[in-house]
Every structure is written in C-alpha cells, then in structure tokens.
Amino acid sequence: MSIIASFNTAAQGVQQTSSATAQMIASAPPEQKAFLEAQEKVRKETELTKLITNMMEALKERNSAIINNIK
C-alpha cells in the first residue's frame, strides 16, 4: 500500500464521527449542539494534524536511514 493510500485511509477514519458521538450531539439540548459540533470539529482537526505530523516524521526517518545507508 502506498503512503498516499495509507494516509487517505487513516484520514477517512479520522474524519468519521462515531455513532456514539453523533447520538450524543443529536440528543443534546439545542443550546449545546453548536458547541458540541464545534468541539467535534476541533477534535477531528487535531487528530488529522497528529496524523500528518506522524507520517511526515516517519518519512523523515525513512529518508534519513536511506541516506545513512548510502554513506
């Protein structure tokens, strides 16, 4: 599996809202729904940022290992 395919698969998982979270938001009082939806959006963005950071670090380490093997 390519790096891009792995990233896309992981990103899709991050972007999905669990059924429990969706149910909690749906059953929340109207005055709290907007806050809970915003909180869920921030959670997703944070997870996606962590995913990108971890993948970039893994690529850096892989490339460093390749360069060190060439030396």
pLDDT 10s digits, 15-30: 888 899 999 999 999 9
pLDDT in the model for residue 1: 64
Quote the CA–CA distance of 48 and 31 in Å, as a whole number.
Answer: 28
Segment 35-44, tens digit of pLDDT: 999 999 999 9
DSSP letter at 2? -
Structural domain containing residue 35: 3-70
Structurally, the chain folds into a number of domains equal to 1
